[in-house]
């Protein structure tokens, strides 16, 4: 390969898991398969400047401010991926990133962030190997590299519904990289969906996801949970192809609550939901009981609530309800609106 100075930019969306990844083995191998929706508007835009032949160092800027901690993380990450990108330590980097969504909103900026960095790296790799063809292999390798930065990031490299982790239910699935879920097996009602994130709490999380994954090692319910994730894949497959919205709601909410139940059953236990999270959940259940409309929730490893609902004619009643009943329960009236359309 022939390295040279380069300026590369890439954009990568975040994602929200329906079947959650929680628990991992060495080298970022997931303890169970997961599936997520890739978002559209919530993205990280990254430019990477590479100075060939200079001493290896990384400088990072987030929305114009230098972030030394992030730079240290990226340096470690680059050292870690050298076996797969032999040129990666042979220069200096200036990396500038901007998120299109609020910082510490609980939307996974590590997923979009590492996704964008992996895309930049694969662009450089293709230039240095004089291979300009955007191949499926390059996508897969970008997903592989993103995984080594943040597990869930590997799912952000593809649009729509994306699977990470070996499962008998999805042909070609792997623990090493994500694969898109077969589009032909998804009923149209699941292909045009809203995800509105209610910002219940905008501060730093009390327990990081790295620590949370680690606590699954000693969680007495872990094995049952990993098995359940596999079982839920089989259920979801039928739901997705038949268009069973009721089944979808039940499964997605169960997965969200299970993630948080695992946190409560950890030793030491921790709780990332807040009063507002529980209030929102109860209001959603009440709204559904009264109207029968498909408004439901999922949660990430944090207090914020992802409101999921299909983009269809009943939207007005749902959005009015969100506006009048749910948004007042947020910290500062914060909501981030995204849509999954594919
Ligand atoms: O990618 P990590 O290590 O930040 O883990 C994130 C795990 C969850 O967001 C809670 C679930 C998931 O599958 O995205």
pLDDT in tens, 271-293: 999 999 999 999 999 999 999 99
Please return the burial class of 185, using the count of CB atoms within 10 Å of its CB with bins 0-12, 13-18 and 19+: exposed
Tell me if 147 CB under 6 Å of ligand 1. no
pTM of the model: 0.96
Measuring CA to CA, how many Å separate 37 from each of 64, 133, 301, 340? 29, 27, 16, 7
ipTM above 0.90, yes or no: yes
Nearest CA residue ID for atom 9, ligand 1:
300
pLDDT of the residue at 130? 79
Q: Is the CB of 110 inside a 6 Å radius of any atom of ligand 1? A: yes
Domains annotated for the chain, with CATH where assigned, are 6-185 (3.30.230.10), 189-341 (3.30.70.890)
Distance (Å) from CA 72 to ligand 1 centroid: 21
Q: What is the pLDDT of residue 264?
A: 98
Q: Which helix (H) or strand (E) holds 58?
A: strand 57-62
Span from the CA of 263 to the centroid of ligand 1 (angstroms): 13
- Specify the pLDDT at position 204: 72
Residues of the chain with pLDDT under 70: 104-106, 131-134
Q: CB of 32 closer than 6 A to ligand 1?
A: no
Are the CB atoms for 156 and 12 separated by under 8 Å?
A: yes
| C-alpha 175 – ligand 1 centre gap (Å) | 14
pLDDT of the residue at 170: 97
Residue where the block lists tokens 């069973």: 244
Q: Cα separation of 336 and 197, whole Å?
A: 5
């Amino acid at each position: 390969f022939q390295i040279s100075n380069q300026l590369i930019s890439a954009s990568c969306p975040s994602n929200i898991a329906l079947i959650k990844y929680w628990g991992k083995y060495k080298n970022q191998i997931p303890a169970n398969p997961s599936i997520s929706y890739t978002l559209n508007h919530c993205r990280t835009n990254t430019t990477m400047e590479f100075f060939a032949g200079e001493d290896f160092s990384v400088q990072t800027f987030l929305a114009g401010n230098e972030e030394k901690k992030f730079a240290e993380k990226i340096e470690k990450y680059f050292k870690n991926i050298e076996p797969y990108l032999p040129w990666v330590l042979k220069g200096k980097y200036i990396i500038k990133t901007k998120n299109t969504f609020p910082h510490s909103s609980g939307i996974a900026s590590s997923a979009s962030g590492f996704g964008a960095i992996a895309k930049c790296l694969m662009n450089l790799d293709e230039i240095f190997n004089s291979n300009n063809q955007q191949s499926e292999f390059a996508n897969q390798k970008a997903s592989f590299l993103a995984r080594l930065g943040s597990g869930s990031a590997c799912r952000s490299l593809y649009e729509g519904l994306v699977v990470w982790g070996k499962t008998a239910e999805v042909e070609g699935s792997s623990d090493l990289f994500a694969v898109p879920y077969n589009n032909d097996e998804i009923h149209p009602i699941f292909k045009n969906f809203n995800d509105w994130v209610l910002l219940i709490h905008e501060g730093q999380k009390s327990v990081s996801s790295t620590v949370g994954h680690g606590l699954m090692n000693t969680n007495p319910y872990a094995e049952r949970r990993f098995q359940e994730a596999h079982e839920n894949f089989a259920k979801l497959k039928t739901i997705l192809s038949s268009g069973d919205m009721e089944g979808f709601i039940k499964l997605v909410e169960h997965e969200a609550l299970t993630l948080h139940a695992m946190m409560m059953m950890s030793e030491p236990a921790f709780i990332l939901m807040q009063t507002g999270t529980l209030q929102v959940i109860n209001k959603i259940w009440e709204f559904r009981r009264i109207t029968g409309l498909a408004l439901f929730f999922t949660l990430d490893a944090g207090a914020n609530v992802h409101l999921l609902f299909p983009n269809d004619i009943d939207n007005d009643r749902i959005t009015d309800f969100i506006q009048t009943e749910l948004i007042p329960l947020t910290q500062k009236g914060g909501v981030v609106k995204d849509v999954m359309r594919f």
